[in-house]
Amino acid sequence: MKKTFLYYLLAVTLIASCRKDTHVFDKSPDERINETLTAYQQAISGSAYGWNGNLVTGSGGFYRFYFSFDNNNRVKMYSDWDSSTASVLKESSYRLKALQQPSLIFDTYSYIHILADPDAGVNGGTYGVGLKSDFEFRIDTVTADSISLTGRQNGSKLSLRKATQGDLAVWQNKQVQAGVVSFRNFWKFLLYWRRLNYGGTQYELQFDSTSKNVTISWMAGGQAQTVKRGYYFWANGVSFSDPVINGSQTVPGFTITGFNGSTQVMNVTVNGTAATITGYNGPPINPDVKNAAARWAAQSGAGDNYWISVDGFHVNGVDDAYNIKSLKTDTTKYFYLLYKTNPGSVDAFFPVFLDSAKNSLVANYRSWLVMTITPSTGRTRFAETSQAPSDPWPAGPAGDTRTQMLNPNGFYFVQSSSYSYDMVSVADAKVWLTWYWIF
């Protein structure tokens, strides 16, 4: 036993002596980290014409940036966020730092911070989280011409690719700004449905400007096809994050060459070929329309939840066409329209008023409705079973709103964002109402 113990001590001593003289790395961890950061610094500042940056937020929004990094921790950038950020070069500071792994940190407020700003008033996102973006990124991979990064807070994805002299010129010559400005005309179509007419195919376009995504739908072989893409503003137009592939036809986006408000035609080019975007007054292509109304109803039917609309109906290019926001009583003022589905019973539809002290809500002109969905088309109709006997809808803004809601032709529902649905008139696509989910 004693001899065995001595052999054990000898073995431990030999192993320890071997470990003492054996080095897995020939440099300390700090030296290796500093070398890695130096290599990343050389890479990030070594692109002669800067970097094109694509940022996909944690909520799926797609945004285009331009970055030029120097060796003095300064970065210059453009962004397609709006016409100002697309044309004014912004300079701020950045750092490369070893956190849990090497990271790129934009450490003073810049265009990239707009998306991550927790104030929804800044970016139209959600209060407290903004658009679920980041300004601190861990570095995942670095190659000769690209860098991939992941946001440390919300997991947003930032990909950098070396820009060419031509890419930089697109920003400097304000062609991205021109794309942002020209695209505003897209929202001037009187008809809700808009279609890109290219190469003998009509592509239905549904843009979500909050998340910077677009849903593209078309018919192929008698079947409805639909894809979702991010989009960004580029040289005088819109580019998709990935091209739309329709057989031998590829649609990478479109360049806007003009818009005629009188004829309601937007002239564009696709792959250098002339095309148009026009309004369409008829059944939509997107197959999700068949399911959207049921989702909308189920969401409000779960618990004490409901949908609201502030502006009421949009008609022929006019928001709040019936002037519903003018409604008031001696002690209250119109606040919003409300719709609450009640599975197994009748639904509630009425305007909500806010009292003069702004601390109490009052329901006026209450109607009880039955909602009927045609599964094959998604067409949804509302029929009134009763009104509050002592409080009928008065003529004017309130009565016009009720009459439109009860249009026997019904509506199509379209999920327009993660928190909103559009209800589009079947009889006239120049009429629609947007419902918002704020609870």
> What digits encode the pLDDT tens for the residues 313-341?
999 999 999 999 999 998 999 999 999 99
CA angle 165, 108, 87 (to 5 degrees): 40
- Its pTM stands at 0.88
What gap in Å lies between CA 321 and CA 70, rounded to an integer?
A: 53
What is residue 124's predicted lDDT score, i.e. its pLDDT?
83
User: Which amino acid, 313?
Assistant: F
The pLDDT of residue 360 is: 92
Which of the two residues, 17 and 106, has the higher pLDDT score? 106
Tokens standing for residue 43: 């890479």
pLDDT tens digits, residue range 7-29? 444 444 444 444 444 445 566 66
Average pLDDT over residues 275-281: 98
Question: Which tens digit of pLDDT belongs to each residue from 47-104?
Answer: 999 999 999 999 899 999 999 999 999 999 999 999 999 999 999 999 999 887 899 9
Q: Which two tokens stand for residue 425?
A: 């008139």
CA distance 355 to 306: 20
pLDDT, tens digit, for every residue of 158-201? 999 999 999 999 999 999 999 999 999 999 999 999 999 999 99
3 state SS of 180: helix
Average confidence (pLDDT) over 107-125: 92
Is the Cα torsion angle 15, 16, 21, 24 positive or negative in sign?
positive
Say whether pLDDT at 383 is over 90.
yes
Who has greater pLDDT, 426 or 1?
426
Q: Considering the chain, what percentage of its residues have pLDDT values greater than 70?
A: 92
Residue-range domains of the chain with CATH: 34-173 (2.40.128.640), 177-280 (2.40.128), 289-436 (2.40.128)
For 313, residues 6+ apart whose C-beta sits below 8 A from its C-beta are 320, 321, 322, 324, 401, 404, 431, 432, 433
Q: Tell me how far apart the alpha carbons of residues 428 and 228 are, in angstroms, rounded to a whole number.
A: 26
Over residues 362-381, mean pLDDT: 95
Cα distance between residue 149 and residue 104, in whole Å: 8
Q: What is the mean pLDDT of the chain?
A: 92
Task: At 226, list the tokens.
Answer: 């639909």
Q: Which amino acid is at 145?
A: D
Structure confidence at residue 35 as a pLDDT band (50, 70, 90): confident
